[in-house]
Amino acid sequence: MLDLQPLLCPRSIAVIGASTQPEKVGGVPIRLLGELGYGGRVFPVNPGADTVQGLRAYATVADIGEPVDLAIVAVPAPAAPDVMAQLGQAGTRAAVVFTSGFAEVGGGDALQHALATQAHAHGVQLLGPNCLGAMNLRERMFATFSPIPLSGVPPVGHVGLVSQSGAFGAYAFALAREAGLGLSHWVTTGNEAGLQVADVIEWLANDPQTQVILAYVEGARDGMRLRRALAAARAAGKPVVIAKVGTTAAGASAAQSHTASLAGEDAVYQAVFDEYGVHRAHTLEAFFRLGYTLARGRRPAKWQSATGLAADAVAPVAIVTVSGGVGIMMADSAETLGLPLPHMPDTAAQALRAAIPFASTANPIDVTGQVVAQPQVFVDALANVARCGQYGAVAAFLAGGVNAPRLWPVLQDTVSALEADRHAAPLLISGVMDDDKRAWLEARGCLVFREPAHTMEAVAALAKAAAMEAAADAPVGADNSAPLHPPALPPDATALSEAEAMAWLAAAGVPVVPHGVAQHAEAAVDLAESIGYPVAVKICSRHILHKSDIGGVALNLRDADAVRAAFAQVRRAAAQARDAGGNAVPFEGAIVAGMARGWGEIMVGVRRDPVFGLVALAGIGGTAVEIFRQMAFGLAPLSRQRARAMLTQSRAAALCSGHRGHPAIDLDAVADVLVNVSRAAAAIGDRLDTLEINPFIVGPDGLVAADAVITLR
């Protein structure tokens, strides 16, 4: 982990290019640090001035006469590398470079490289260039040229915010201020020549002032750094909310031109986020709402996960409503999110019906408009479901009821009593109300929303956070307890032959069809007889991956003559084949393999993502994979739970559960086959380019690989 203490908690700050004009880029930070109460020392550096905004100015950083923790750099781009060298020589520990005109513009790469090289050579931690800076709200440290803190600062709190984009960061700052969301730190990373969003996430994960991390990401330059940062947050039990933009082709193309990010394939990002339990936001509104929810929301009293993965946890919720219609909308939302809606316990239901005969006592619990006449009945219903032990959370819709003079006092009594009860389920309220009542409720642990559906989304996010916090000590992904002992890899090959690939898979515990390699026709017949008809005969070569395209595959051969004819055909095809370099391919033999019988096909693969490394994918094979494209992704090696979840997400699990009258097969065993495929790929390690099994035949004995392709780097 990089130590961001000099950047975010500096005891002294030099401003290089300090301006006497407080509205200039080099003047704003001097003004902010002075006016807003920064407690450390500030050294303006400006060769043309004796004082800057009332502070003694220095001609160079060396003239300060002592090393400073942090330098703010606001000099023209061409001068920045030299300034960085001077900072390093003066012992400066960290630098924020505001200046733009580096990699984000054509031809700016070299200058950015020079800047980063100087920073690295002198051990100066670099934030930027082309960034809006950083803030530590507790220390009143404002190393930014945005004037926005002058018009007000959010409360000091426990949300750390980091953004690749400066403008996004500034807007987020304004929205946090408006919503009263308490921040610990605020960091924008710009072109990321030094520090990346991932480094800041990792530091915040270890920062005792920060409990929730909000991050805006266009593209991770170093996927492994991001994974390490998310693992640190997970281990610290701190929820991470990420707005990852560039999810579509249009967005990705825009991102590339913005901060020169490679947006990457969104499904892979999503797999990473799923693995580490990241809460994902697709809009600014959701980004902040998740921040509010996770920073202030009490965790559900109970939760459960169908997949065993903490990221899939949900909490049973009681919906208590004064409007049946809104209750139905909330129930729709709960079901969409997978939140169970268990019925109200009998005694509570009887009490409610005794008081309001028209009330609906299932779930949603509809107290009806009678709440106006009988407010105590409503709050009693709330308290009963919150305490009954079967709900993780209680979501109440009150319309304008909180403001009703007769309801408010009894609601206050109930909320106070529930706050004091450690076992009571937390309360989430939607409706319109005065600001002071909202603040009163929030101070007592209630979350408050205007939109009823948002209470459901909040329960879902809190359940996931609770499960992630409980699982903080568990390892991420698969445990690699049993090492594999697969065959050696051919040193210079760019692929394995099918037989070699099959051997790798078999060594990893993946069932493969019975097979052997024959050098001549009669050996092929002998193999076929020992395997049993029908069989397939296919070219076996490291140099020919698309066997069927060149006539190198014959399927469903039912007797010796057919095998002989197929062998001859395959041999002819091999003789005409050319490798990638256009050279003739030596005939290495033909693979003779049994025809697996089953009722469906699954496609499983592992490939190397340029950002995040090995990624496994799975889905139904055949027409489905091409037309519906419902593939599920996971980081390799997979855990059994992740493999099971991938089978469910891709619907491949449907082929295993008594599909069209076929016998059901053990889904855990199928998941273990996926795990073993992913371990085989991981065992190949850095050499692996892609591994694909298409098809895996689904039959009464589970999965069996009928074909395999492994390409190497």
Q: Closer to a second copy by CB, 242 or 540: give it.
A: 242
* From candidates 113, 138, 298, 659, binder to a second copy by CB under 8 A: 659
φ, ψ (nearest 5 deg) of residue 426: -70, 155
CA–CA separation, 431 vs 437, rounded Å?
Answer: 12
* From candidates 3, 63, 421, 451, binder to a second copy by CB under 8 A: 451
| Residues 317/395, Cβ–Cβ less than 8 Å | yes
Shortest separation between residue 588's beta carbon and a second copy, angstroms: 28
* From candidates 33, 236, 428, 655, binder to a second copy by CB under 8 A: 655
Stretch that binds a second copy, among 357-365, 501-509, 536-544, 574-582 (CB under 8 A): 357-365
Contacts of 79 (CB under 8 A, 6+ apart): none
Shortest separation between residue 253's beta carbon and a second copy, angstroms: 8
**Per-residue contact string for residues 529-568; x = within reach of a second copy by CB under 8 A:** ----------------------------------------
Shortest separation between residue 280's beta carbon and a second copy, angstroms: 12
Token pair, residue 321, equals 């409503």
707 counts as binding a second copy under rule CB under 8 A: no
663 counts as binding a second copy under rule CB under 8 A: no
Q: Closer to a second copy by CB, 86 or 363: give it.
A: 363
CA–CA separation, 429 vs 418, rounded Å?
Answer: 14
* From candidates 49, 150, 235, 284, binder to a second copy by CB under 8 A: 284
Token pair, residue 128, equals 């930027």
| Residues 398/381, Cβ–Cβ less than 8 Å | no
CA–CA separation, 233 vs 275, rounded Å?
Answer: 12
Shortest separation between residue 103's beta carbon and a second copy, angstroms: 12
Q: Closer to a second copy by CB, 624 or 665: give it.
A: 624
378 counts as binding a second copy under rule CB under 8 A: no
Run of H or E including 392: none
524 counts as binding a second copy under rule CB under 8 A: no
Q: Closer to a second copy by CB, 520 or 558: give it.
A: 558
Assign residue 629 a region (left: φ > 0; alpha: ψ between -120 and 50; beta: otherwise). Answer: left
Q: Which of residues 248-267 bind a second copy (CB under 8 A)?
A: 248-251, 253-255, 257-259
Q: Closer to a second copy by CB, 530 or 657: give it.
A: 657
Token pair, residue 421, equals 């009860």
Q: Which of residues 85-104 bind a second copy (CB under 8 A)?
A: 100-101, 104
φ, ψ (nearest 5 deg) of residue 454: -70, -25
* From candidates 82, 358, 558, 713, binder to a second copy by CB under 8 A: 358
**Per-residue contact string for residues 394-423; x = within reach of a second copy by CB under 8 A:** -----xx-----------------------
| Residues 677/661, Cβ–Cβ less than 8 Å | no
* Cα of 13 vs its chain's centroid, Å: 35
User: Which of 306, 270, 311, 242 lies closest to 466 in space, CA to CA?
Assistant: 311
* From candidates 362, 410, 476, 560, binder to a second copy by CB under 8 A: 362
Q: Closer to a second copy by CB, 655 or 712: give it.
A: 655
Q: What is the dihedral of CA 357, 358, 364, 365, to 10 degrees?
A: -30
Shortest separation between residue 252's beta carbon and a second copy, angstroms: 8
| Residues 230/240, Cβ–Cβ less than 8 Å | yes
**Per-residue contact string for residues 454-493; x = within reach of a second copy by CB under 8 A:** ----------------------------------------
**Per-residue contact string for residues 612-631; x = within reach of a second copy by CB under 8 A:** --------x-xxx-xxx-x-
Q: What is the DSSP-derived secondary structure letter of residue 566?
A: H
* From candidates 11, 56, 450, 713, binder to a second copy by CB under 8 A: 450
Q: Closer to a second copy by CB, 321 or 678: give it.
A: 321
Shortest separation between residue 454's beta carbon and a second copy, angstroms: 8
Q: Which of residues 287-346 bind a second copy (CB under 8 A)?
A: 322-329, 331-336, 341
Counting residues that bind a second copy (by CB under 8 A) gives 83
Shortest separation between residue 263's beta carbon and a second copy, angstroms: 8
Q: Which of residues 113-172 bind a second copy (CB under 8 A)?
A: 132, 148, 163-168, 170-171
CA–CA separation, 358 vs 570, rounded Å?
Answer: 78
Assign residue 260 a region (left: φ > 0; alpha: ψ between -120 and 50; beta: otherwise). Answer: left
Q: Closer to a second copy by CB, 245 or 635: give it.
A: 245
CA–CA separation, 115 vs 126, rounded Å?
Answer: 9
Q: Closer to a second copy by CB, 456 or 554: give it.
A: 456
* From candidates 291, 364, 426, 695, binder to a second copy by CB under 8 A: 364
Q: Closer to a second copy by CB, 563 or 646: give it.
A: 646
Q: Closer to a second copy by CB, 236 or 624: give it.
A: 624
646 counts as binding a second copy under rule CB under 8 A: no
Stretch that binds a second copy, among 290-298, 381-389, 508-516, 655-663 (CB under 8 A): 655-663
Stretch that binds a second copy, among 133-141, 356-364, 413-421, 529-537 (CB under 8 A): 356-364
21 counts as binding a second copy under rule CB under 8 A: no
| Residues 199/229, Cβ–Cβ less than 8 Å | yes
- 240-244 and 279-280 beta bridge pairing: parallel
Contacts of 277 (CB under 8 A, 6+ apart): 234, 239, 240, 310, 311, 464, 465, 467, 468
664 counts as binding a second copy under rule CB under 8 A: no
* Residue 171, number of CB atoms within 10 A of its CB: 15
Q: Closer to a second copy by CB, 136 or 323: give it.
A: 323
Token pair, residue 103, equals 């990699």
φ, ψ (nearest 5 deg) of residue 189: -105, -15
Q: Which of residues 209-238 bind a second copy (CB under 8 A)?
A: 216, 218
CA–CA separation, 71 vs 65, rounded Å?
Answer: 14
368 counts as binding a second copy under rule CB under 8 A: yes
Shortest separation between residue 76's beta carbon and a second copy, angstroms: 14
Backbone Cα Rg of the chain: 31
Assign residue 502 a region (left: φ > 0; alpha: ψ between -120 and 50; beta: otherwise). Answer: alpha
Q: Closer to a second copy by CB, 148 or 301: give it.
A: 148
* Residue 129, number of CB atoms within 10 A of its CB: 29
Shortest separation between residue 693's beta carbon and a second copy, angstroms: 19
Shortest separation between residue 246's beta carbon and a second copy, angstroms: 5
Sign of CA dihedral 179, 185, 186, 192: negative
Exposed/middle/buried for 270, CB within 10 Å: 0-12, 13-18, 19+?
Answer: middle
Shortest separation between residue 668's beta carbon and a second copy, angstroms: 20
Residues forming beta bridges with residue 126, ordered by sequence position: 95
SS3 category, 492: coil
DSSP string, 626-675: HHT---EEEESSPPHHHHHHHHHHTTGGGGGS-GGGPPP--HHHHHHHHH
Shortest separation between residue 27's beta carbon and a second copy, angstroms: 14
